[in-house]
Amino acid sequence: MDFASNPDSDADSPALSSELRAFLEEDAHAEQGSADPLAERDLYAEWQGKGATPRLLLTGGVTYVRSTHHTLTPADLPPMTRRRTDLDELRLELVKFEFMIRELPENRRYKEVRVLIKLDPYAPIMFMRPKEKSADSESVKTFSSQFAPTLAKLLQFDVSLAKTGSVSRTEQHSVVNCVSLGPEGFGWTFRAQEGTPLLPGPQHTLAVFELPLTAKRIKGSFDAEAMVSRELLGKSISTQSLPQDPAVPFKLRLRNGSGPDSGR
């Protein structure tokens, strides 16, 4: 079914509540304020000049700037999802993530950046996708085939639901892939493609989590890595850029309805 050509074709998709619409339409820049970031990762790569000893240099990084959340109600879900027998035992949280890809040293550029979040305790993910329209994307959903087109329509993406159950869109922009590793974590990979560089700056994504009804917070660890290229004597040399410390812990306090992050 092609929701791009007929976004209102799914008769089972619920109307967008005013609270959910307000949450989805919030300006991420207006939300940011002066709060400290949730987590930061400095990335280092081994570089070697002509005749010199290899050494580690600070080569970019990623900041987990903030998250905001909205508690979904049964009215936000399509009828098939509402029939889940365990729905009254779950707290479904739609969480927006904001990451900042940092500037690089001169003559270097990002080929790929990956962010990875591991929750403790683990929580299943119902749906993931990039938030921004300025990316090719592959979405991963791990439960309801009814839920993906509903959220896609609510988020005003031009999407199509493939037979495999994944959601994708195609534009000439950097590529974003969702990464879902079960208990080992989840995240997103941002990639440059030919003619379209991956530039430093903000990246926005979102996910829906299946939490226990009594959950008061989401906590876990944040990690990142990158592939960075350098132009040298007319050649492009790629090097992996990695953190030198363990993943950074973070905590998101959950409020009733919608709310911002609470810091580390």
C-beta separation of 189 from 214 below 8 A: no
Residue 133 has pLDDT above 70, yes or no: no
Percent of the chain with pLDDT over 90: 46
Q: What is the pLDDT of residue 150?
A: 52
Q: What is the pLDDT of residues 204-249, one digit of tens each?
A: 998 999 999 999 999 999 999 999 998 777 788 899 999 999 999 9
Give dist(CA 175, CA 229) in Å, integer.
Answer: 17
In a domain, 261, yes or no: no
What confidence category does residue 259 fall into, taking pLDDT thresholds of 50, 70 and 90?
low
For the chain, the domain total comes to 1
Q: What is the pLDDT of residue 198?
A: 94
Q: What is the pLDDT of residue 4?
A: 30
In a domain, 112, yes or no: yes
Q: What is the pLDDT of residues 60-105, one digit of tens each?
A: 999 999 999 999 888 787 777 777 778 888 999 999 999 999 999 9
Which residues span the domain enclosing 87?
18-25+37-255
In a domain, 179, yes or no: yes
Q: What is the pLDDT of residue 21?
A: 79
In a domain, 13, yes or no: no
In a domain, 127, yes or no: yes
In a domain, 242, yes or no: yes
Q: What is the pLDDT of residue 122?
A: 97
In a domain, 48, yes or no: yes
- pTM confidence score: 0.78
In a domain, 11, yes or no: no
The beta strands (E) that lie in the chain are given as: 39-47, 55-71, 90-101, 108-119, 125-130, 136-139, 160-161, 167-169, 175-180, 186-191, 201-212, 217-232, 235-241, 248-253, 258-260
Residue 251 has pLDDT above 80, yes or no: yes
